[in-house]
Every structure is written in structure tokens, then in C-alpha cells.
Amino acid sequence: MNTKQRGSGWSIKLVFTFYRLFGYTFIYYLMYPVTFFYFLVAGNVKEALKDYYAHINQPFNNGIYFEHLRHFAITMCDRFVSKVSPQDYTFEIDNKEALMNHLHQGGILLLSHFGGWASAGNCFSDLKINIVMQESLIAPIKCIEDNLETKNPHLNIINLSKGGVYVTMKIASALLNNEIVAMMADRATEAKNREFVTFFGKNAAFNKNPFSIAYKTEKPLMGIAFSYQKPQHYRIEFIEITMNKNNHTEEEIHKAMQTYADFFASHVRAYPNQWFNLYPFWKEEVPL
């Protein structure tokens, strides 16, 4: 699934240069005029967000639209900054010991395009995390990210655009090594991997693939959400999802997907301006 990438290589490079020169506080406030620019030009995003807020029964106006774009800009900055300065980020975690014990066992980690998902992985320096995703950054931005001196060599991207065989082998290898395989639950890149569950009272397509893999391999399955709280500080919440191999495969997978959808919905309700799936999510035909 391809979504139109906002931003440009030169603008990201300029913002990161300002970070190097003036620090994080400067670029945090710089995001206000940057957001205002996209507020004026990103009309298609506004229409998608209007549809989104209507489905979650929340008000939508220009102020809410601006704040949604601003949170997206902040988390995009954090994606880059956290690669080079992970020590500057803090995380609020209930039952941290249980979370870390689970992560150190490896298995499937369910992510969504929500909050600080793109930066949190940079801050778990002692964990090997493989993120399976369709890399949608435009080439100049991707080049900037690839050339950053990362402080976490254990973070690996498994790019879906390299094909099914490549991706399958990489996932299998990671799971055999008891590593974490993180997959996007809110976006299926192929129609065959979509399954509809109830989400805010209506059918919505989620990615069936990570649930199927967890069921077949009997690896641990966990949903996780990274919600932005204040500059360089995120809250992490998680849920362990179990499936009974004695029950029918499709029934167990669907039940697990609904459990995750309910967990995710609770975070969308709490932080509606932090879900960055900027297209009409509830439409039956989702663009690939």
C-alpha cells in the first residue's frame, strides 16, 4: 500500500541541521510554522482526517486538523533524532519488567502507524528488532535516514518491496533466532492479507499476516502502542494476545485480531491526533 509521502529531502535535512546546531527545543517550535505550511496545502489529508474523526465520533475543525499535522511532524522529527540521540528519550511504562521479559523472548510485535512507533525501536538498544514494513519514504529522505550514524545497530528493516520470498526468509530467520519481528497491524500490503474486524462499530480491514504467522509458529504475540506525551517522552502500553491451537485456525486468528483492534481503539480514543493512517481507513477498497 502506498500513501503519498509528505515532506521533502531538503526540508528534512534542513530541520536535522537545525537540530545539530540549535538543539531539540528549537526544532520543536519550528514545527509550528512547518505544520502551518502543510495545513494550507495538504487538502487531501484534511479530507481523510475529516472522515477519520467522523468514524471515531470526535469533533473535527481547523484547530484539531492543525494539531494532528503537528503531532505527525513531531513524531517524524523524533524518527530521525532518536537514531542519533536515543539517550535523550524517556518512556513511561506500566509493568516494565513484564514488557522486557516478553520482548527478550522474541516473537511477533504488533505495531500501527500511531504515535512514536518509528522512534521507539531506536531506544531499545539491547534488543534485536526486525520491523517488517513497506518503506514509503521518498528517496532523498530515505538517503538521509540511511546515512545517519545510528546508536542502535540492532534495529533492522525488512522491506516488503523486496518481494515475498525475501521477506518470508528474513522473518523465518529472525524467529528461529528468537528475535522480535514487528509488523504493521493497521495496514495490509496485499488484499489476501486483509481481514475485516469491528473497529469503532464498523468493519475495517486489518493485516491478518502477523496473526497467521504467530499462530503457525506458536511464537508469542504482543500488541504495543507508543503514545506521545511531551517532547521526547512517550508512554508505552502493551497487551499479550494468546491463541489456542486446539481451536479452528481461522476462528482463533480472527478472535486475536479483534482483541488487537479493541486494544488499538482504546488508544485511538485516548489520543485521536496520533494515528497517522492518512487515508479513508473504513472504505472497503483500501489502496494498495
Task: Give 53-68 pLDDT, tens digit per residue.
Answer: 999 999 999 999 999 9
- DSSP H helices, 243-288, are 249-270
Q: Is the pLDDT of residue 204 over 60?
A: yes
* C-beta of residue 226 within 8 angstroms of C-beta of residue 110: no
221 lies in a domain? yes
pLDDT tens, 205-237? 999 999 999 999 999 999 999 999 999 999 999
**Three-state DSSP class for 214?**
helix
Q: What's the pLDDT at 188?
A: 81
182 lies in a domain? yes
- For residue 247, the enclosing domain spans 9-274
Q: What's the pLDDT at 28?
A: 97
CA distance 10 to 21: 16
Helices 249-270, 209-217: inter-axial angle, 10-degree rounding: 130
* pLDDT, mean over the chain: 87
163 lies in a domain? yes
| Stretch (H or E) spanning 180 | strand 180-184
More confident residue, 147 or 254: 254
Q: What's the pLDDT at 141?
A: 52
284 lies in a domain? no
CB contact set of 58 (below 8 Å; sequence gap of 6+):
64, 272
Q: Which residues pair with 226 in a beta bridge?
A: 236
DSSP 238: E
CA distance 84 to 123: 10
| Stretch (H or E) spanning 93 | strand 90-93
- Mean of the pLDDT values across residues 25-52? 93
CA distance 267 to 140: 32
Rg (CA), the chain: 18
**Three-state DSSP class for 196?**
strand
CA distance 100 to 98: 6
Task: Please classify residue 9 by burial: count the beta carbons closer than 10 Å to its beta carbon, then call 0-12 exposed, 13-18 middle and 19+ buried.
Answer: middle
Q: What's the pLDDT at 147?
A: 58
Cell of 178: 528468537
106 lies in a domain? yes
264 lies in a domain? yes
Q: Is the pLDDT of residue 24 over 60?
A: yes
Cell of 261: 483492534
User: How many residues does this entry show for the chain?
Assistant: 288
97 lies in a domain? yes
287 lies in a domain? no
Q: Is the pLDDT of residue 140 over 60?
A: no
- DSSP H helices, the chain, are 9-22, 24-41, 43-55, 62-84, 96-104, 117-120, 139-147, 164-176, 209-217, 249-270
Total tally of structural domains belonging to the chain: 1
